[in-house]
A = this chain, B = another copy of it.
Amino acid sequence: MSSSSSSAPPRALKIGIIGFGPFAQFLVETMLKQGHSIRATSRSDYSEQCARLGIPFIRDMHEFLQSDNEVILLCTSILSLSEVVKSIPFQCLKQPTLFADVLSVKEYPRDVLQQALPPDSDLLCTHPMFGPESGKNGWKGLTFMYEKVRIRNEAICSSFLQIFSSEGCRMLEMTCEEHDKLAARSQFLTHTIGRVLAEMHIEPTPIDTKGFEKLFQVKESTVKDSFDLFSGLFTHNRFARQQLKNFEIAFENVKQKLLNRMNE
């Protein structure tokens, strides 16, 4: 699709954000720079932060839905998605709307939203494979995964994708299922190891090897994300449990090899 080429500047969109936590705030910075019109709602009160950014914070969900959004972007935690979606009074929507989400698991929001959305709303499931830490110096070369689950208004969808492609993201179209399989083996495993290292309270030593420095960085960036996020990666990705088992089995094998070798 030529309209989503990475060089074209994205057309200004009216984007409503549900869930104004750390990741939403990180995304909004770039969206505002690009000239989009943003408004936000969230469980907690972010009116001060929004005032500082010069965007409206709309506490009331009815009012938020009626505020003429072309895109509604779900940035809530994985664990709260179902509850948050239940609380959305979809009948207040004034027009067919593109719903998009950025949850770090993908089959789950796809299913929840396909069930809950009005039939005339579009659905784009996405996962930016980066965060406030890895994306702090720009998004160039960072991966943006998406699946067009149900798109009729291609123009709006493509303008939304251009938010990321125009920053140089590597755009990767992939099914939600394929995403969850791969993410369990990579991202979930990484968070698990990061949490184990945090649990061990690892700290730099004067004799760190390059390898240990990398593990320390993994630990540091893992614990910057909420435990809810980690927990969501496990609870709502059906492939995660097997990875946890695989890790346990692999550890047991390595331990046995060490003990066998020692007793040789």
Contacts and interface: CB of A to CB of B under 8 A. Distances in A.
Q: Please tell me how many copies of the chain the complex holds.
A: 2
B196 A209 contact: no
Interface in A217-264: 217-218, 221-222, 227, 230-231, 234-235, 244, 246-248, 250-251, 253-255, 257-258, 261-262
Nearest to A133: B210
A207 interface: yes
Interface string A182-203: 1101110111111111011010
B255 A244 contact: yes
A116 interface: no
A208 interface: yes
Interface residues of A, number: 59
B217 A214 contact: yes
Contacts of A248: 251, 255
A250 B207 contact: no
A258 B234 contact: yes
Contacts of A172: 206-207
Interface in A85-135: 127, 129-130, 133-134
Contact of A262 (B130, B214, B218, B235): B235
A172 B182 CA distance: 42
A185 B206 contact: no
A122 B223 CA distance: 47
A166 interface: no
A58 to B, nearest CB: 30
24 contacts: A129-B208, A134-B209, A134-B210, A143-B206, A143-B208, A145-B207, A182-B205, A182-B206, A183-B207, A187-B209, A187-B212, A191-B211, A196-B247, A196-B251, A196-B254, A199-B250, A199-B253, A214-B218, A215-B218, A234-B258, A235-B258, A244-B255, A247-B251, A248-B255
Given A211-B222, A235-B258, 6 more contacts: A133-B210, A134-B209, A186-B209, A189-B200, A194-B211, A214-B215
Would you list the 5 A-B pairs with minimal beta carbon distance, nearest first?
Answer: A199-B250, A182-B205, A186-B212, A190-B211, A134-B210
